[in-house]
A and B are shown apart, each in its own frame.
Chain A
Amino acid sequence: MSTLLEVSGVSVTFDGFRAINNLSIQIAEPELRAVIGPNGAGKTTFMDIITGKTKPDEGRVIFGEKSVNLLGMSESQIAQAGIGRKFQKPTVFEAQTVRENIVMALKNPRGPFDVLFKRRADAREERVREISDEIGLTEALDQTSGALSHGQKQWLEIGMLLAQDPRLLLVDEPAAGMTPQEREHTTDLLVRAARTRAVVVVEHDMEFVRRLNCKVTVLHEGSVLAEGSLDHVTKNKDVVDVYLGR
């Protein structure tokens, strides 16, 4: 296990409010990590910083064995470097079919001319099948993705992440709005994905985190409050005070 992502001393202020305060986190490869914390703890801002949506006021974010500085890169460059993100609300392209959504996410050259002229469909069809089997949407490949159920959209988005084949996967509340069976399936998927890559899951639902059975980081007011196994952090008095004891 080597360190894939290193966030050190990062702070962000929005109009005087410190959303992230001297935050430092290291993620290894492969690793499955859950990030929990009460509302406003800075979980989503943490993801925004890694993916380039928000630029921090200070601190460093280093990625990969070449130690690239993510802060100097645009969102699309960061995504191409191998960081994929799933949003809290499923954001698939609803006007397009499931297949189009997956094909768009497939790891391929991303320039306009690459996309315009390289139209070899047969090679990617196989990959699309693999992914749609994985997320259970093979039947729905030619359906408009807007017609999918909420849970299916969540999976489609996870499938798009898998298609991107990222080294680091950031997943924001994947289980929201899912039925118990769907949750179980999602847990399996994430655990399997984390065998070969780093997966960071932000989640509210303790039951879901317990089933992931991984190292947990508790965020509070923009910095790390505790880190360790779920049992370890739930025994931590600070954690109980700010989060679980509410």
Chain B
Amino acid sequence: MSNSFIGRNPSILWFLLALSVFTIGVTLLSEATGTGLISTSFLKTLGKTLCLCLVAIAMDVVWGYCGILSLGHFAFFGIGGYAIGMWLMYARTEGIVTGSLSGSALPPTPQEVTDAIGTQIFGVVGSSEFPALWAFSHSLPLQLLAVVAVPGLLALVFGWLAFRSRVTGVYLSILTQAMTLALSLYFFQNDTGLRGNNGLSGLQNIPGLEAVPQATISLWFFWASAVALALGYILFAWVVSGKLGSVIRAIRDNEARVRFLGYHVESYKLFVFTLTAMVAGIAGALYYPQAGIINPAEIAPIASIYLAVWVAIGGRGRLYGAVIGAALVSLLSSWFTGGSAPPINLGFYVVKWTEWWLVLLGLSFVAVTLFFPKGIGGIFDYFERKRLPDRQGDYGPDKGALRQQEGVE
């Protein structure tokens, strides 16, 4: 079966090949193993980019394949980051606190240790109590579970409520955006117990690995991100191939018709929405230790809109399109906003890319939607000469509709 699965989806092999070549190349050039042509900070950028590619694939499945324009998947990504960040902060602070308390004459009681950790973590928001949300933060397995379980449950409940009342199209997008906004506002509050707008920081320091240099840790995370992206790609390629893919694309194209075929459309949407949310959570959990910091601004609706822009530019409805879009746009974005792009002097005005990048991105988004609705991925169709006849709606019982003799090419 796996032979025919790969055989029917040759793009998987090409993708895995490209990803392995890239990973090996970067590894050889990195500071930890090689010449150091790639600095550790750029290595982190590349690793983060792979995580963004993973969440972009998830977005492509939910939007490009199933037709749900979710403006909330970056929130699931952020929740995954928070879930792992809580353990990272707790465990690291615990190490520091026990270290400093061990010098005192009397051994510290467990209560003293907990209080000290609480003061360290929540001092910035004027508190030292552990909020209920942090109940499992001492346990890595439980927080890892939370990385998939919390986004999954949230998507399940939200999706169930939204889909069963048959909210579709732009109204559903607005609803997902409202959810994202509400979440980010909730995370911003100091009372929530997630350190308000300070967010969680120091996440690049992995507890127990203090002796390992950042160059090495970054490489490990880069590998982990590459593996996660490869597995995610295979998973989603499997999901969208075969009959399930057929059904979800049919839902995108004509939901009502799928119902009359006897499929419970809502369950399918819920399945896709929840699965992609869980993968988004995993991508976030790999991203934020490389970023080092997470704060509620990461969850804000604009992030999810960027996600949709990447997928649209890369090409909806094909997994590699999402990867290309996310990688290209996010790397370009860090190049332009990082100040490396040379400013253009127009004589009367100097175009500084840090300010004008968003305008450029907006214009390219408009240009892609207007002139290349298939996105960058559409170039591959051009090479394959596989032009899908675009006849949707051309035929009909109305007068003037195309007739049989005009039909088959």
Contact = CB atoms under 8 A, between A and B. Distances in A.
Is this pair of chains taken from one and the same complex?
yes
Interface of A: 51, 53, 74-77, 79-80, 84-85, 87-91, 93-96, 100, 103-105, 110-113, 115-116, 119, 144, 146-153, 160, 164, 173, 176-179, 182
Interface stretch (B84-92, B318-326, B399-407): B399-407
A111 B267 contact: yes
**What size tier do the contact residues of chain B reach?**
35 or more
The 6 closest A-B pairs by CB, nearest first: A149-B407, A79-B262, A176-B397, A75-B259, A149-B404, A112-B271
Contacts of B262: 76, 79-80, 110, 164
B135 interface: no
A89 B397 contact: yes
Interface of B: 1, 239, 242-244, 246-247, 249-250, 253-254, 256-257, 259-265, 267-268, 271, 388-392, 395-397, 401-409
B249 A148 contact: no
A93 B388 contact: no
23 contacts: A51-B260, A75-B256, A75-B259, A75-B260, A76-B259, A77-B264, A79-B260, A89-B396, A94-B391, A95-B249, A96-B249, A110-B264, A116-B239, A119-B1, A144-B389, A146-B390, A146-B391, A147-B408, A150-B395, A151-B404, A152-B407, A164-B262, A173-B397
Contacts of B246: 93, 96, 100, 103-104
Given A76-B264, A160-B261, A164-B261, A147 B391 contact: yes
B396 A104 contact: no
B243 A115 contact: yes
Contact of A95 (B243, B260, B261, B388): B388
B260 A94 contact: no
Contacts of B259: 74-76, 79
B257 A91 contact: yes
A245 B260 CA distance: 36
Contacts of B271: 112-113
Which of B239, B253, B259 neighbours the largest number of chain A CB atoms within 10 Å of its CB? B259
Contacts of A51: 260
A45 to B, nearest CB: 15
B59 to A, nearest CB: 19
Given A91-B257, A173-B397, 19 more contacts: A88-B397, A89-B397, A93-B253, A95-B388, A104-B243, A104-B246, A104-B261, A119-B242, A119-B243, A147-B409, A148-B408, A149-B403, A149-B406, A150-B396, A150-B401, A150-B404, A152-B404, A153-B395, A177-B396
